[in-house]
Amino acid sequence: VVQLHIFSTAKKLITVLLILFSTCFKEMAELAEHGVFLPYNMQGLTDEQIEELKLKDEWAEKCVPSGGSVFKKDEIGRRNGHAPNEKMQQVIKKTIEEAKALISKKQVQANVCINMEMVKDALDQLRGAVMIVYPMGLPPHDPVRMEFEDKEDLSGTHAGLEVIEESEAQLWWAGKELKETKLLSDYVGRNEKTTIIVKIQKKGQGAPGREPLISHEEQKQMMLYYYRKQEELKKLEEDDDDSFLNAEWADNHALKRQFHGVKDIKWGPR
């Protein structure tokens, strides 16, 4: 039976995964699209402002992608716009997808347990792709390089809000906090094939929200099914409508009244 003290490793793993997903993948995609990070004093400035202030990116000539670059302006003004060529872009993008697959939650469905070695392998793959595309390396202020060197400061950013320190972390399952002093079997029994979904939460925030009973895709399919069913019922109701019985042609006594000459007689004052 596995003891919960190993969950301290799980907390570290989840923290690494959060940082990896929230920052590295996003920044590497931006690297492929718009080139390396501009110095902080040049970010957000227009070309005219940069020229007026006589600012120069010293790293632009050093950090040139393999095979040359293509200019694709970064509208946000964070990167220099000298993106890798199409072939080198595909190297980065393909590696991002492979790294995502390596630590994807789909691994659970394949009965593959994600561990720290797999996370390190994912990071090594990303690091290798960057070395292929940028053999001269990236600027020291580029978030991708800072991420690889574990130097990035996430304070004050949205990604920083998603990172939970190990000392502040709690693990929850089925609305219960998993105590490190207990055995895992105390919560889920001794069936080794049992799969559970554990969530991490900051201390003091209470239990996290429960997982929905059905997935978003299943919900869409159900709504589509009931909509079609409703339309079918409407059509059946229209087919069963007997309002036509009030029509003149449906009157069984119309022919008799016509022979008796009383067809157009109306009662009441004129």
pLDDT tens-place values along the chain, 270 residues long = 333 333 444 555 555 555 555 678 888 999 999 999 999 889 888 888 888 888 888 888 888 999 999 999 998 889 999 999 999 999 999 999 998 888 777 776 777 777 778 878 888 899 999 999 999 999 998 988 888 887 766 555 555 555 666 677 778 877 788 887 787 778 787 777 777 777 777 777 777 777 666 777 888 888 888 888 888 888 777 665 555 566 666 666 776 776 666 666 666 565
Residue 164 has a pLDDT of 67
Check whether residue 34 and residue 140 sit in a common domain: yes
Distance between CA atoms of 221 and 56, rounded to whole angstroms?
Answer: 55
Cβ atoms of 133 and 91 closer than 8 Å: yes
Check whether residue 247 and residue 160 sit in a common domain: no
Residue 2 has a pLDDT of 38
The answer to the question of residue 45 being in a domain is yes
The answer to the question of residue 190 being in a domain is no
Residue 1 has a pLDDT of 34
Q: Tell which of 167, 198, 228 closes a domain.
A: 167
The answer to the question of residue 44 being in a domain is yes
Query: In which domain, by residue range, is 20 found?
Result: 1-167
The answer to the question of residue 207 being in a domain is no
Check whether residue 61 and residue 154 sit in a common domain: yes
Cβ atoms of 134 and 63 closer than 8 Å: yes
Check whether residue 119 and residue 36 sit in a common domain: yes
Check whether residue 83 and residue 144 sit in a common domain: yes
How many domains are contained in the chain? 2
pTM of the model: 0.57
Check whether residue 122 and residue 256 sit in a common domain: no
Residue 184 has a pLDDT of 77
The answer to the question of residue 31 being in a domain is yes
Q: Tell which of 147, 167, 187 closes a domain.
A: 167
Check whether residue 16 and residue 78 sit in a common domain: yes
Radius of gyration of the chain (CA): 33
* Residue 66 neighbours by CB under 8 Å, 6+ apart: 84, 88, 132, 133, 134, 135
Among the listed residues 91, 130, 102, 144, the one whose alpha carbon sits nearest the alpha carbon of residue 17 = 102
Check whether residue 144 and residue 21 sit in a common domain: yes
Q: Tell which of 143, 167, 191 closes a domain.
A: 167
The answer to the question of residue 27 being in a domain is yes
